Every structure is written in C-alpha cells, then in structure tokens.
C-alpha cells in the first residue's frame, strides 16, 4: 500500500473502559497493523492511550487467536476440539436451540453477553435475537449497579460536569478509581490542572495505587468504609462554616436534617471505621472546605461493596454541601450515560419482547446453571447458551458453581470468542470472532461525552466472523420473528440509529469521526435544577423507588429495607471475623482489561507473570508468610492457590489481588472469583467484587 495515498485510518477503542479513546491507526508497509495512537484532535483522548492498546498488534496477530469454528471432542474444559465448517456449526446450534425450546420452552435458552466489545451494534444485537425468540433475558450486574444507583439517588440523573473541566479545577479528588490503570485520560486532564493551576490531587483508595503515587495526598482507608469518610468530611464542612447555606436551601431537599444527622459523625467516629486517623480526615475536609473549585471524580471501585450505593451517594453529597456544583471545574462526575439518548430499537427490537420473560442475573450464572430455583425464578432449567463478549468462567463470582454448571452434560454451550478463554474451553461449539479493527461499530464514552465511529479498517483473516453475522444467521435458522434488523449490516444499523436519533448519518460521522454531545454548562452543572421531579439534590433518597438506571422490573432487592435514609456508613459489608481475618479487594491490573489481554505475553510479563496476593508485613509475619511464599486463600465459597507479596501500603486488615488472570495461571486452576459472592447488593443488584472476607495460610 502506498502510504502517501492511503487515507488516514481511524477507529475507537472497543474495550470496556470509561475512556473510550479515539484512535489513529498506523499500518506498516505490508498493510498490517503497526500501532494504535490516541487522536490528538479529540479533546478528551488528547493524544494519549494506554500501553496495552497502543501495542494492539500483539493481540490482533496473536498466534493463539481463534480462526476456525470448533466442535468439542474431549470433556468440557479439556480444550480438545475438532474443526467444523461455519454452516455445520450454525446448523447444529440451531438444532440444539430448537430442541431445548421444544422440550423445555424458549426460556431454557439463555443468550448471555457483556461488554468485551462496547460497540452498540456488535454488543447489543443479541437482544434482538433473544426478543425475537422469547429466550431468557439477562439482568446485568457485573459492573454498574451500585455506582449508578448511588449517584442517581442524589442527582436524579446519570450525568455531570464536563469531564474535560477537570483541567480547570483547583483540586481534584480521585475517589475509588485507579485511572493510571483503568482510564488513563483522567490523569491527562488532572495533570493539566496541576501544571496550569497548581491544583492539588487527592486520591482515595484501599492501597497505594499507581494513581496515588502521583497524588499530593493519598488516603488509604479500609474497603467499604467510604460512606463514613464522606460523612465525616461533611461533618467538618458544616461544623467549620464551609457549608454554602444559600445553595443548600435553594438546591437540596433537607439540609437541616442532614446537618442534625451528621452532628455525631465526627472524624473520630469515622477514624474507627475507616482505619484513618482523625487528623487525616480533618486535613482532607479542610482542603475540600477551603477550595470550592474541587472536582470529584467518582469511580466504580469503591462501590463494589455491599454498601456501595450508599457510599457513592454519600460521596456525591459533598459538592452539594459546599455548593460547588455550579462552578466550572467543580462538582462530582461519575458517568455520562444519560446524555446520549440513542434510538437503539433497530439493534435491540424491544417491541418484540414478550412481557413476563425472566431476566436472569448474570452474576448468578453459577447458581442458575446449577438449578437454583431463586436464580431461575422457578422457571425451566437453562439448557442452551450463546455467549458473546464475556468470559464468565473467569469474571463471574462463585466460580465453583459456575464451573459445575458449565460441566453439566445436558447443557449445550456456544461461545463466540477471539481466544480460547476459560469459558470457550467449556463450550460445545466455539465460533471465532473478528476483532474491532475488522468490523464496523459505533461507541459512546461513559467517562466523556463523545459518540465515536469505529469503522472496519482491516480485513479479518479467513474464519472469524462478526457478532452480527452470528446473530442474523442464527435468527434465520431458528425461525425468529421477522425484523428488519436481521437483514441489515453493521453499517446500515449505524446509519439507521444516527438518523433515528437525529445525530446525522453514517456518511457525516465518517467525515467527522465523532460527535461531541456535551450538554450545556447549566444542565451539566444542574444550575436549572437537579434531575429529580422537585429539581433538588436529594440527601434523603427513597431507596425503594429511586430512579436507578439499573432497575430490572422496579423491584428493590437485597437487604434494601435497612438502607440508611441519609448519608451514613452502612454496615452491610462482609465483615472479617476470627476465621476470615482479611478483606480482599480484587483491584484491576494495569496491563489487563478485565480478562482481556490476560492472553498477551507482554501483559502477563508486565503483571509479574503470575497471580499474587499482597499482604502487609505484620500480617504476613503473624501467619509465617514470607515474600514470594505460596499460600492458600479461602472462605466458604472456595480456595485459591497463589503467591504472596509483602507490601506495607495497604489499608489495615486488607489484602489485594490485582487482575483477572486466566484460571490455569493459578496452581490448582481456580481463579480469584472462586472467592467472591453473587448475592445481589441493595437496592438494585450488583456483585460486590471488592467485598470478600478471606483467610490465608502458607502451603506446606
Ligand atoms: N474479581 C473481580 N471480578 C470482576 C471484576 C473485578 O473488579 N474483580 N470486574 C467486573 C467488571 S466491572 C466487569 S465489567 C466484568 C467484565 O467481564 P467481561 O465482560 O467478561 O470481560 P472482558 O475481558 O472485557 O471481555 C470478555 C471477552 O469478550 C471478548 N470479545 C471482545 N470483543 C469481542 C467481539 O467483538 N465479539 C466477541 N464475540 N467477543 C469479543 C474478549 O476476547 C474477552 O474474552 O468483570 C467483572 N468481574
Ligand atoms: N487496566 C484496566 N483497565 C480497566 C479495567 C481493568 O480490569 N484493567 N476494567 C475496566 C472496567 S470493566 C471498569 S468498570 C473500569 C473500572 O474502573 P474503576 O472505576 O477504576 O474501578 P475498579 O477497577 O473496580 O477499582 C478502582 C479502585 O478502587 C479501589 N477500591 C476497592 N475497594 C475500595 C473501597 O472500598 N474504597 C475505595 N476508596 N477504593 C476501593 C481498588 O483498589 C482500585 O484501585 O475500569 C475499566 N478499565
Ligand atoms: S483501554 Fe481505555 S485507556 Fe486504553 S485505549 Fe481503550 S479506552 Fe483508552
Ligand atoms: Mo466493568
């Protein structure tokens, strides 16, 4: 290819990351991918992307990439397969799905998916398929439930100040997120504020992360105690005259009740819960009080506890007490889900959805596959699955049950994948999938405000097919209800959605690459009122009927009736006890993205080659654990074997295991989610991945 003549190639990062970077694609002289770069003219990406995606050629041309449809010949999990043609594979899948439907009803088929690609066409077309057949639905609970529910409880809307405004801030509080690893662009904008305005950076986490190493002030607190910290900060703000009463009276629901409620939520009270000193809490509160232009960047990590919604709500209340929501560079940003207003009906075909069909909790996949009545809503067993864009044998909680479920001889499992993941290894049929540069799609940013095009820029090798191909072909073969969406290409879907949403056309987006959907300053800063019907910020959420984007059918779940009605520390976490003295957080690995990239050699090497658990030296000494020792870590759900590393920068009583390693990187083949629970967090579900009590013992 003549480089001078070739047009500038671009895309967008498809991975499940709030940054959703705009990418420039660099090919070599042979027309192969050389490198991906961050687009400089995209104001959020600003020319910066993470290292693992910059070296995407390693994943695209990985020698172990799946290239042929496969049929299982060994036992489930043995990874013994034979090649089979696409036609034969699709025919066999259709036959098995039709058999399951005939014998056990359509609900016995469970199409299962998540966000391995965030492309709206390739990710969400599976809904069109399920609705057109009346197959079981899925209640999404891996990621956003406590975070979104908690944020919206206060603001009434899942949106906030323009995330680029961080650069115009005088102080940035990065709370329960590790952006150096999980959303690198947050750092780009935060560092701009520091360089240009001398902004202070405060980072709140349960151990010293790479992000905290760059902070002016690091706050290392016990997991699940953020609600207490937020309350004590607000106590000091109210006590010391930092509260903006004019704002409180105009814009919030019950400031006097809040003040009375926080009277005894002193720094000393919070110190006992968080493990911080009262002086540290006073110091942080004073900084927040003195600098009104403070930007809170609220992450997901601190909400992955059973009290996560309460913690998120409490943290989001601070900007209301200081009255800083209306200022540029201030307020609390979490996610921009509510700004997009896309018409996805051609992709998802909601009008075909029959009422009353069960939505099985994706985190309860282990329980559901093992026949748990509650997980199955008393309905038929799951007999057949199509799995796209997710790796539940690694990422879902209660792994012992997940494994037992997938091992069932009477379960027919189809996995459409790019790699032989832990889940693909359990499949009856494995279908090879294209990678994002090989198909068309469109992406919206959770951590910013762009809608971006990711067009096909490379031909796929012979073999892999895109998700929408599998959906449309299977729909034909199983006699799905008629829908125009099944006859459309990804490009046609993108064009249709853009036009139906009044965002122009595919042709326009091909020219412009992205659309900036940032709402007006007044809207983003809630100057005309918050998202609730009364226009106020709510200190007192009605948890049983709060406007969560994660409500399945409007019914609250978990122990929601004991949720505090004002910001508080809610003691619903999995508390350590004598048998389980530690709390485990399974924080992200910088060089993996969930379970993706745990197959690329450079990422495995950068993460140290094997899974570890980090433990404080004094705890290790008490247990007789030396640095590098092999240990077992367990609880009532199971036991994993991995290696210990001594670190003195963790919160007291806390252990950390970074990354979703493939199961066979653990000595006994059991991954970290063996230990985590699938019980739904209140009030609208969600798995508490960082809320696990464990014991640790030396092996030998
Ligand atoms: N212990 C613990 N567990 C966790 C978490 C944690 O913090 N700790 N985090 C949780 C969270 S937040 C999430 S979101 C989940 C994520 O869990 P997953 O969604 O399962 O994770 P990913 O690795 O992002 O993506 C899964 C797979 O999608 C495949 N894929 C990518 N693109 C395509 C495509 O175009 N077509 C097809 N067919 N496949 C594709 C990838 O190859 C990858 O194997 O994990 C959850 N699990
Ligand atoms: N490199 C990399 N990037 C990723 C991912 C990845 O796995 N690796 N996953 C992607 C996905 S799906 C998502 S949803 C986002 C999530 O990205 P984030 O919003 O950053 O959330 P988490 O990754 O769950 O955790 C962030 C931090 O919260 C900390 N944490 C855990 N418990 C607590 C607590 O109780 N209090 C406080 N204050 N902190 C706590 C963890 O130690 C971790 O450092 O990242 C995405 N980006
Ligand atoms: S994984 Fe996140 S930070 Fe990395 S390129 Fe993709 S969107 Fe950007
Ligand atoms: Mo996630």
Ligand 1: centre distance to CA 595 (Å): 6
| Ligand positioned closest to the Cα atom of 22 | 3
User: Residue 120 corresponds to which tokens in the numbers above?
Assistant: 């709206």
Q: Which pLDDT does position 555 carry in this prediction?
A: 85
* Neighbour-count burial for 462-500, b at 16+ CB within 10 Å, e otherwise: ebbbbbbbbbbbbbebbebeebebbebebbbbbbbbbee
The kind and range of the H/E element at 638 are: strand 638-646
Instruction: Yes or no: say if 331 and 296 are a contact pair by the CB < 8 Å rule.
Output: yes
Q: Residue whose CA is closest, atom 5 of ligand 3?
A: 49
Confidence of residue 4 (pLDDT cuts 50, 70, 90): very low
Instruction: Find out whether the beta carbon of 180 lies less than 6 Å from any atom of ligand 3.
Output: no
Query: Quick one: which atom of ligand 2 is closest to the CA of 144?
Result: 14
| Mutate which of 11, 16, 49, 118 for ligand 3 pocket (most atoms within 8 A of beta carbon) | 49
Ligand 1: centre distance to CA 137 (Å): 18
Query: Quick one: which atom of ligand 1 is closest to the CA of 672?
Result: 1
The string of pLDDT tens digits covering residues 510-522 is 999 999 999 999 9
Tokens 């950068």 sit at which residue? 606
Instruction: Find out whether the beta carbon of 19 lies less than 6 Å from any atom of ligand 3.
Output: yes
Query: Quick one: which atom of ligand 1 is closest to the CA of 392?
Result: 20
Instruction: Find out whether the beta carbon of 176 lies less than 6 Å from any atom of ligand 2.
Output: yes
User: Residue 665 corresponds to which tokens in the numbers above?
Assistant: 């990187």
Q: Which of 691, 605, 692, 619 is CA-nearest to residue 650?
A: 619
Count of CA atoms in the C-beta half-sphere (13 A) of 48: 15
| Ligand positioned closest to the Cα atom of 301 | 2
Instruction: Yes or no: say if 614 and 650 are a contact pair by the CB < 8 Å rule.
Output: yes
Tokens 């990239």 sit at which residue? 597
CATH of domain 70-143+343-450+461-504: 3.40.50.740
DSSP secondary structure of 680-698: PPTTT----TT-EEEEEEE
Query: Does residue 683 have a cis bond before it (omega within 30 degrees)?
Result: yes
The string of pLDDT tens digits covering residues 458-499 is 999 999 999 999 999 999 999 999 999 999 999 999 999 999
Q: Beta strands 630-635 and 692-698: pairing type?
A: antiparallel
Does the global pTM surpass 0.75?
yes
User: Residue 29 corresponds to which tokens in the numbers above?
Assistant: 């002289």
State yes or no: pLDDT of 2 exceeds 50: no
Which residues have a Cβ under 8 Å from the Cβ of 361 and sit 6 or more positions away? 139, 141, 368, 375, 678, 680, 685
* Neighbour-count burial for 136-145, b at 16+ CB within 10 Å, e otherwise: bbbbbbbbbb
State yes or no: pLDDT of 162 exceeds 60: yes
The string of pLDDT tens digits covering residues 301-321 is 999 999 999 999 999 999 999
Q: Residue whose CA is closest, atom 39 of ligand 1?
A: 389
Instruction: Find out whether the beta carbon of 230 lies less than 6 Å from any atom of ligand 3.
Output: no
What is the C-alpha separation between 83 and 576, in angstroms, rounded? 49
Confidence of residue 228 (pLDDT cuts 50, 70, 90): very high
User: What mean pLDDT comes out for the span 332-340?
Assistant: 98
**Start-end of H helices in 172-225:** 179-182, 185-197, 210-213
Instruction: Find out whether the beta carbon of 654 lies less than 6 Å from any atom of ligand 2.
Output: no
Query: Quick one: which atom of ligand 2 is closest to the CA of 50?
Result: 1
Instruction: Yes or no: say if 433 and 417 are a contact pair by the CB < 8 Å rule.
Output: yes
At 387 the three-state DSSP class reads: strand
Instruction: Find out whether the beta carbon of 188 lies less than 6 Å from any atom of ligand 3.
Output: no
Q: Quick one: what percent of the chain has pLDDT higher than 90?
A: 97
| Ligand positioned closest to the Cα atom of 603 | 2
| Mutate which of 56, 60, 116 for ligand 1 pocket (most atoms within 8 A of beta carbon) | 116
Ligand 2: centre distance to CA 688 (Å): 12
| Mutate which of 10, 13, 600 for ligand 3 pocket (most atoms within 8 A of beta carbon) | 13
Domain spanning 146-334+550-562, CATH architecture: 3-Layer(aba) Sandwich (3.40)
Q: Which pLDDT does position 7 carry in this prediction?
A: 64
Instruction: Find out whether the beta carbon of 448 lies less than 6 Å from any atom of ligand 3.
Output: no
* Conformation bin of residue 580: beta by default, left when phi > 0, alpha when psi is -120 to 50: beta
The string of pLDDT tens digits covering residues 542-572 is 999 878 888 866 689 999 999 999 999 999 9
Instruction: Find out whether the beta carbon of 48 lies less than 6 Å from any atom of ligand 3.
Output: no
Q: Which pLDDT does position 214 carry in this prediction?
A: 98
Ligand 3: centre distance to CA 433 (Å): 20
Q: Which pLDDT does position 3 carry in this prediction?
A: 42
What is the C-alpha separation between 417 and 466, in angstroms, rounded? 10
Instruction: Yes or no: say if 614 and 696 are a contact pair by the CB < 8 Å rule.
Output: no
User: What mean pLDDT comes out for the span 694-698?
Assistant: 97
Q: Which pLDDT does position 389 carry in this prediction?
A: 98
Q: Which pLDDT does position 8 carry in this prediction?
A: 83
The CA R_g of the chain, rounded to the nearest whole Å, is 25
State yes or no: pLDDT of 147 exceeds 50: yes
Ligand 2: centre distance to CA 572 (Å): 20
Tokens 């600098």 sit at which residue? 291
Which residues have a Cβ under 8 Å from the Cβ of 2 and sit 6 or more positions away? none
Q: Which of 167, 47, 549 is CA-nearest to residue 340?
A: 549
Ligand 3: centre distance to CA 186 (Å): 11
Q: φ, ψ for residue 408 (rounded to 5)?
A: -55, 130
User: What mean pLDDT comes out for the span 105-128?
Assistant: 98
State yes or no: pLDDT of 6 exceeds 90: no
The string of pLDDT tens digits covering residues 587-623 is 999 999 999 999 999 999 999 999 999 999 999 999 9
Average pLDDT value for the chain: 97
State yes or no: pLDDT of 373 exceeds 50: yes
Please, which residues have CB less than 5 A from ligand 4, an ion?
143
The string of pLDDT tens digits covering residues 631-685 is 999 999 999 999 999 999 999 999 999 999 999 999 999 999 999 999 999 999 9
* Conformation bin of residue 177: beta by default, left when phi > 0, alpha when psi is -120 to 50: beta
Length of the chain: 700
Domain spanning 582-698, CATH architecture: Beta Barrel (2.40)
Instruction: Find out whether the beta carbon of 155 lies less than 6 Å from any atom of ligand 1.
Output: no
Confidence of residue 700 (pLDDT cuts 50, 70, 90): confident
What is the C-alpha separation between 413 and 387, in angstroms, rounded? 8
The string of pLDDT tens digits covering residues 249-269 is 999 999 999 999 999 999 999
Q: Which pLDDT does position 545 carry in this prediction?
A: 86
| Mutate which of 11, 14, 15 for ligand 3 pocket (most atoms within 8 A of beta carbon) | 15
Rounded to 5°, the CA angle 661-665-667 comes to 130
State yes or no: pLDDT of 1 exceeds 50: no
Return residue ranges of the chain for CATH 2.40.40.20: 582-698
State yes or no: pLDDT of 164 exceeds 80: yes
Return residue ranges of the chain for CATH 3.40.228.10: 146-334+550-562
Query: Quick one: which atom of ligand 2 is closest to the CA of 175?
Result: 38
Ligand 3: centre distance to CA 485 (Å): 30
Confidence of residue 524 (pLDDT cuts 50, 70, 90): very high
Q: Residue whose CA is closest, atom 16 of ligand 1?
A: 594
Return residue ranges of the chain for CATH 3.40.50.740: 70-143+343-450+461-504
User: What mean pLDDT comes out for the span 383-405?
Assistant: 98
Q: Which pLDDT does position 224 carry in this prediction?
A: 98
| Mutate which of 299, 318, 659 for ligand 2 pocket (most atoms within 8 A of beta carbon) | 299
Q: φ, ψ for residue 516 (rounded to 5)?
A: -90, 110
């Amino acid at each position: 290819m003549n480089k001078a003549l070739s047009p500038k190639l671009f895309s967008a990062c498809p991975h499940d990351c709030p940054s959703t970077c705009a990418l420039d694609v660099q090919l070599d002289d042979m027309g192969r991918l050389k490198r991906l770069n961050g687009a400089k003219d995209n104001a959020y990406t600003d020319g910066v992307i993470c290292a693992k995606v910059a070296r995407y050629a390693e994943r695209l041309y990985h020698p172990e990439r799946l290239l042929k449809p496969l049929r299982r010949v060994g036992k489930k999990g043995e990874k013994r397969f034979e090649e089979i043609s696409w036609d034969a594979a699709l025919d066999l899948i259709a036959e098995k799905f039709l058999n399951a439907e005939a014998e056990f009803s359509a609900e016995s088929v469970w199409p299962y998916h998540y966000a391995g690609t965030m492309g709206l066409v390739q990710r969400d077309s599976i809904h069109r398929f399920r609705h057109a057949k009346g197959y079981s639905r899925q209640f999404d609970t891996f990621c956003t439930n406590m975070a979104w529910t908690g944020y919206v409880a206060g603001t009434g809307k899942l949106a906030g100040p323009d995330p680029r405004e961080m650069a115009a801030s005088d102080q940035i509080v990065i709370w329960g997120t590790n952006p150096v690893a999980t959303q690198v662009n947050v750092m780009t904008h935060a560092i701009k504020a520091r360089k240009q305005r001398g902004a202070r950076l405060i980072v709140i986490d349960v151990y010293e992360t790479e992000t905290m190493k760059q902070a002016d002030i690091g706050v290392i607190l016990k997991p699940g105690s953020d609600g207490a910290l937020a309350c004590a900060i607000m106590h000091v703000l109210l006590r010391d005259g930092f509260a903006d009463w004019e704002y409180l009276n105009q814009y919030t629901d019950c400031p006097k009740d809040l003040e009375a409620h926080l009277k005894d939520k002193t720094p000393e009270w919070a110190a006992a819960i968080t493990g911080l000193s009262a002086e540290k809490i006073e110091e942080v509160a004073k900084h927040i009080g003195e600098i009104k232009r403070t930007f809170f960047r609220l992450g997901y990590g601190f909400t992955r506890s059973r009290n996560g919604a309460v913690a998120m709500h409490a943290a989001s209340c601070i900007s209301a007490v200081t009255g800083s929501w209306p200022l540029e560079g201030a307020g609390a940003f979490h996610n921009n889900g509510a700004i997009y207003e896309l018409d996805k009906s051609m992709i998802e075909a909601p009008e075909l959805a029959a009422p009353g069909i069960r939505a099985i909790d994706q985190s309860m996949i282990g329980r559901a596959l093992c026949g748990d009545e509650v997980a199955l809503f008393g309905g038929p067993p799951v007999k057949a699955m199509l799995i796209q864009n997710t790796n539940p044998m690694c990422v879902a909680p209660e792994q012992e049950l997940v494994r037992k479920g997938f091992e069932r001889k009477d379960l027919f499992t189809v996995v459409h994948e790019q790699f032989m993941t832990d889940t693909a290894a359990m499949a009856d049929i494995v279908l090879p999938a294209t990678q994002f540069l090989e198909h068309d799609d469109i992406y919206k940013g959770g951590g910013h405000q762009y809608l971006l095009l990711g067009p096909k820029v490379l031909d796929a090798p012979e073999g892999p097919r895109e998700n929408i191909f599998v959906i449309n072909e299977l729909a034909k073969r199983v006699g799905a209800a008629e829908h125009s969406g099944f006859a459309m290409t990804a490009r046609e879907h993108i064009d249709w959605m853009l036009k139906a949403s009044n965002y122009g056309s595919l042709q326009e987006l091909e020219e412009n690459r992205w659309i900036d959907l940032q709402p007006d300053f007044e809207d983003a800063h809630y100057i005309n009122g918050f998202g609730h019907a009364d226009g106020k910020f709510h200190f007192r959420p009605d948890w049983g009927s709060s406007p969560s984007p994660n409500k399945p059918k409007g019914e609250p779940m978990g122990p929601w009736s004991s949720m505090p009605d004002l910001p508080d520390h809610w003691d619903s976490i999995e508390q350590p006890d004598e048998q389980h003295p530690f709390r485990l957080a399974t924080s992200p690995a910088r060089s993996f993205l969930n379970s993706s990239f745990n197959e690329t050699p450079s990422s495995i090497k950068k993460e140290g080659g094997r899974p570890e658990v980090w433990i404080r030296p004094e705890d290790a000494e008490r247990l007789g654990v030396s640095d590098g020792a092999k240990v077992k870590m367990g609880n009532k759900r199971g036991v994993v074997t991995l290696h210990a590393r001594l670190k003195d920068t963790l919160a007291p009583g806390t252990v950390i295991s970074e990354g979703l390693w493939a199961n066979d990187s653990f000595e006994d083949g059991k991954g970290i989610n063996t230990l985590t629970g699938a019980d739904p967090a209140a009030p609208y579900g969600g798995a508490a991945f960082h809320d696990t009590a464990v014991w640790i013992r030396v092996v030998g």
